[in-house]
Amino acid sequence: MKILFKFLSSVFVLLLACCSEPKTVEADYRIIPLPHDIVSTPAADAFVLTDETTLVYPSGDEKLRAIAEFLADYIARTTGLQLQVSDNAGSYNTVTLMTGYDNDSPEAYRLTVGRHDITLDGASERGVFYAAQTLRKSLPVTAGTDRVLFPAVKIEDRPRFSYRAMHLDVARHMFPVEFVKKYIDLLALHNMNTFHWHLTDDQGWRVEIEQYPDLTRIGSVRKQTLVGHLDDEPRKYDGRPYGGYYTKAEIRDIVDYATRRYITIIPEIDLPGHMLSVLAAYPQLGCTGGPYEVATEWGVFEDILCAGKEETFEFVENMLGEVLELFPSEYIHIGGDEAPKTRWEACPLCQRRIREQGLTGDRRHSAESRLQSYFITRVERFLNSRGRKLIGWDEILDGGVAPGATIMSWRGVEGGVIAAKQGHDAIMVPYEYLYFDYYQSSDRAGEPLAMPGCTTVEKVYSYDPLPADLDSLTRRYVIGTQANIWCEYIRTPEHVEYMALPRMDALAEVQWSEPGRKDYTSFLNRLDHMRTIYDLYDYHYAPHVFKK
């Protein structure tokens, strides 16, 4: 009995010792996207973060306070440690947020870890926000942590490109407000600063416009949707109406949510093609007068806005006027892609406009291509008069590009190169590398239905937006890059996430890190950590590149 008692009491003591040993994990700065410069400093200076550590912001600086609160939330979620946020806590056992770091890029930051404190010093608040992202990504995901050991370090970091975006098509399928926010969180996690929101297309109009209530009453609903792939014969439909739109209040809420995360939302209203949803609601805006219906399948449709009627331009300006009130972004995307000219060729009003404007075709451009250029240039003048700038797909180069337009090059990189050589800003989105609606493995068995095409993680990673043959002057006009998620075959938030991840990680490194720092094997190792963050925040992802 005595022996048993002794044995039990020593087990008890042992258990107590184990439990009182604080659970310590170590931060790892080799994150995605890889920071520009990571210099270790003497190991003895490691910082130990505990629930006694305070997150400090300069008194009265509401922006840095907000970032400190984000950071407190990230740390709590990742480690379980609850930290206080304060504007007055000295400089011992603190994580201090500040601005003043001297760098050409407002998004640059310096993150310094010493024995007594960590400082996040940004060239502006935006830099501090990315420093906070770096700090959170360096944390191991472990519930019940007592201490996080941060090895002493000086990280100096800045983005390679100033325009770093993801796109989402909500016209073909629509997603709840809560999901759009979750998607925005994903952009922030990847140091992206722009969300290109494709809000309208042939298959649905998704934004409330007060002057044109039928855009949402009629244009947001299609009577049914294609089932299976467009190439399947015979085509099958589900026979069920599909629709929805975002109210102005919802959009304002989303814009505000994004702004607080240093993300600009660029709305896209795709015109003069991809407009069947508008024509279904206002048939007088088409060349034939209709009747039209909201598209129930995918592809390119011949019915587009009539360029001969003044009423069309009145509509475009009134409608865009309301869009501008919702979105404070400097850039407005007006599409311009895939607009067949067959209706314009046969339309007396379009032909009259061509004559009146003296638009003539030549070997390179038809008179109707010139008319598209006239159309886009008028829209650009309107946007400029309201202090905004126009972005369009590379088709807006055909027939002569509007004077101040920024080109989004999707049919390859040639459009972007031509635009840049003419002194236009260019954003590179070549479909072979950056269309995330394509399959992500060559073996399609077991994959959800996708656009035919294959964009693997490795292919995305290999992409360089600055082709070697670009001269240094032209390079300056390539402002950045993004990937597109078109949602013909993507119906659920989970599926969007699956298509985005982990390709978005590869893109993040293309956008942020210098090409000389890129290494696919190292990237894959670092990706394993991102996966733990995806699990933590309940994001779905494609499994192909992960070890089982």
Cβ contact 351:308 at 8 Å = yes
| Residue 486 in contact with ligand TNX, rule: CB under 6 A | yes
Report the candidate in 51, 49, 54 with the shortest Cα–Cα distance to residue 25: 49
Total residues interacting with ligand TNX, rule: CB under 6 A: 9
| Residue 499 in contact with ligand TNX, rule: CB under 6 A | no
Site string for ligand TNX, 364-403 (x = CB under 6 A): -----------------------------x----------
CB neighbour list of residue 204: distance below 8 Å, 6 or more residues apart: 171, 172, 174, 219, 220, 221, 222, 242, 243, 244, 245, 277, 294
Which of 274, 333, 424, 495 is catalytic? The answer is: 274
> Which residue bears the tokens 């004559």?
355
Residue 262 or 393 with smaller CB distance to ligand TNX: 393
Q: How many CB atoms lie within 10 A of CB 196?
A: 26
In Å, the largest CA–CA distance within the chain is 110
Catalytic annotation on 338?
yes
Residue 337 or 458 with smaller CB distance to ligand TNX: 337
| Residue 87 in contact with ligand TNX, rule: CB under 6 A | no
The rounded distance, in Å, linking the Cα atoms of 251 and 177 is 8
Category of 423 on φ-ψ map: left (φ > 0), alpha (ψ -120 to 50) or beta: left
* Positions in 247-266 near ligand TNX (CB under 6 A): none
Catalytic annotation on 274?
yes
Which of 51, 87, 146, 338 is catalytic? The answer is: 338
Residue 435 or 498 with smaller CB distance to ligand TNX: 435
Residue 153 or 397 with smaller CB distance to ligand TNX: 397
* Positions in 425-464 near ligand TNX (CB under 6 A): 435, 437, 451
**Closest distance between ligand TNX and the C-beta of residue 276, in Å?**
12
The rounded distance, in Å, linking the Cα atoms of 369 and 395 is 10
Cβ contact 294:202 at 8 Å = yes
Which of 201, 208, 380, 505 is catalytic? The answer is: 201
**Closest distance between ligand TNX and the C-beta of residue 488, in Å?**
6
As separate numbers, helices (DSSP H) first and strands (DSSP E) second, the chain gives: 18, 26
Residue 260 or 411 with smaller CB distance to ligand TNX: 411
CB neighbour list of residue 382: distance below 8 Å, 6 or more residues apart: 316, 317, 320
Report the candidate in 351, 385, 383 with the shortest Cα–Cα distance to residue 370: 351
Catalytic annotation on 52?
no
Cβ contact 55:94 at 8 Å = yes
| Residue 302 in contact with ligand TNX, rule: CB under 6 A | no
Side-chain-facing half-sphere of 223: CA atoms under 13 Å: 4
| Residue 338 in contact with ligand TNX, rule: CB under 6 A | yes
What letter represents residue 129's amino acid?
Answer: F
Q: Report the residue from 253, 337, 494, 519 that binds ligand TNX according to the rule CB under 6 A.
A: 337
Q: Report the residue from 175, 262, 410, 461 that binds ligand TNX according to the rule CB under 6 A.
A: 410
**Closest distance between ligand TNX and the C-beta of residue 507, in Å?**
16
Residue 107 or 437 with smaller CB distance to ligand TNX: 437
Instruction: State in Å, rounded, how far the first CA of the chain is from the last one.
Output: 50
Where on the chain is the footprint of ligand TNX (CB under 6 A)?
A: 337-338, 393, 410, 435, 437, 451, 486, 488
Catalytic residues: 201, 274, 338
